[in-house]
């Protein structure tokens, strides 16, 4: 029977997307792994690969169609000997559904933990011919294999790495989780009516803005934030940075204060390993590497690309990687693995003159550091004399489910110590 090619979820937060371009046409033969379309997600434009082999029998969604919901059929794939005659005419656009309610959007931003079960109809297991052939050669029981194709269909990739195993006893069905009461949706027409007679421009929400709204609503409703504030004296760091930049000038490297902040946070997560953790629903995951996310503002939203193993990288390496990630973030060219993960984030608004602010935690992270501007201020020295120093305000937003007050204070103290003793970060 024909195989439905579904609109894929190309990122954990994707609810719908734009089918930007078809790279195949009806009648084309495709194999598993062939790129068949370009899809614009809430974050980037990405290539979509076929998971099965066959012939494109019918294209159901025209290229350029926006707001195509995840799991909506976008094309039909025919197997050997099948005909497209009975498939009917292709619609002009993909079927559209009403926008998700806020509670639904928040739930959709978190990927489900359980993989799809093999698709069955009575005693039949849905699998591609190639997958069946490989399974037969390897002596595999298809009923014991989880399919990753559309609607749980078993495809080539599912059987290539599998080995023959005895059938496992079925796991007991989990009791359905109690759902939280849905938040009352905003009545757009009622809001618009309040402003009748006033001039305004209506700006429809794109995928990125919808995702940001859902994620931040989820964060503020479900994460018990608390805030820790410290000031750091930057004069030793500024002098050390000037010295390093003079030496690195011939290599075309110029370190920013933000590069030092990233390094200081990465090392602090190693010095206070219990704080290098994320909330995973029914458990806490304590990470070993320091994977630090950094907020990057782009037109219409923001990205938080992740610098993996930041504690092991030199300042110049962090600087080069951060510049590359920021450039590609603004061009919306980041792959999902480059902005997912991490346990800790940094949001720096100091370059905009903001003195201090409270950042919202990006789940599942355990904390985020809000960095303000470095300002010249009078400071009382240890000898009681008053001098002028460059002082920067920092606020650590902490998820109390993951990090308690004393542990958060220890983490922020380690960050301050690293920034006020920058030479030690190179040891």
The token pair that represents 239 in the structure block = 């002098």
Task: Judge whether 311 counts as a catalytic residue.
Answer: no
Name the catalytic one among 86, 225, 365, 400.
Answer: 400
Half-sphere exposure of 279 (CA within 13 A, CB side): 21
Cα-trace Rg, the chain? 26
Q: Which two tokens stand for residue 187?
A: 């009545």
In whole angstroms, give the CA distance from residue 371 to residue 391.
11
Which long-range contacts (C-beta less than 8 Å, at least 24 apart) are formed by 326-332? 326/294, 326/296, 329/296, 329/298, 329/303, 329/305, 330/296, 330/298, 330/299, 332/43, 332/44, 332/45, 332/298
Strand partners, 313: none
Angle (CA) 299-220-206 rounded to 5° is 30
Query: Residues with catalytic annotation?
Result: 400
């Amino acid at each position: 029977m024909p195989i439905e090619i579904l609109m894929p979820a190309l990122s954990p937060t994707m609810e719908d997307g734009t089918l930007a371009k078809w790279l195949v046409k009806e009648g084309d033969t495709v194999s598993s792994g062939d790129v068949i379309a370009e899809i614009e997600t809430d974050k980037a434009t990405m290539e979509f690969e076929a998971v099965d082999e066959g012939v494109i029998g019918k294209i159901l969604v025209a290229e350029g169609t926006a707001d195509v919901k995840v799991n909506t059929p976008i094309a039909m794939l025919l197997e050997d000997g099948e005909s497209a005659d009975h498939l009917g005419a292709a619609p002009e656009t993909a079927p559209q559904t009403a926008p998700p309610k806020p509670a639904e959007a928040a739930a959709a931003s978190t990927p489900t933990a359980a993989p799809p079960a093999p698709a069955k109809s009575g005693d039949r297991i849905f699998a591609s011919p190639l997958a069946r052939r490989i399974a037969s050669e390897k002596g595999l029981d298809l009923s014991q294999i989880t399919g990753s194709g559309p609607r749980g269909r078993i495809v080539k990739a599912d059987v290539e790495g599998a080995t023959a195993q005895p059938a496992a006893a079925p796991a007991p069905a989990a009791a359905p989780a109690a759902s939280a009461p849905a938040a009352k949706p905003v009545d757009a027409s009622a809001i618009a009516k309040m402003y009748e007679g006033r001039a305004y421009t209506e700006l429809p929400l794109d995928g990125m803005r919808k995702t940001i709204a859902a994620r931040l609503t989820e964060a503020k409703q479900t994460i018990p934030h608390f805030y820790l504030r410290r000031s750091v004296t930057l004069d030793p760091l500024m002098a050390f940075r000037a010295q390093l930049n003079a030496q690195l000038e011939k290599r075309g490297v110029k370190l920013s204060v933000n590069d030092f902040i990233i390094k200081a946070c990465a090392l602090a997560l190693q010095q206070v390993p219990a704080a290098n953790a994320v909330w995973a629903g029914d458990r806490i995951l304590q990470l070993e590497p320091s994977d630090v996310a950094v907020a990057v503002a782009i037109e219409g939203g923001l990205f938080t690309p992740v610098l993996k193993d930041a504690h092991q990288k030199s300042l110049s390496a962090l600087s080069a990687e951060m510049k590359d990630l920021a450039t590609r973030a603004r061009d919306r060219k980041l792959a999902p693995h480059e902005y997912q993960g991490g346990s800790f984030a940094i949001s720096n608004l100091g370059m905009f003159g903001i003195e201090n602010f409270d950042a919202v935690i990006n789940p599942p992270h355990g904390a985020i550091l809000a960095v303000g501007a470095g300002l010249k201020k009078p400071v009382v020295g240890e000898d009681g004399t008053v001098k002028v120093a460059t002082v920067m305000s920092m606020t650590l937003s902490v998820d109390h489910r993951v990090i308690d007050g004393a542990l958060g204070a220890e983490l922020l103290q380690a960050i301050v110590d690293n920034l006020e003793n920058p030479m030690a970060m190179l040891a």
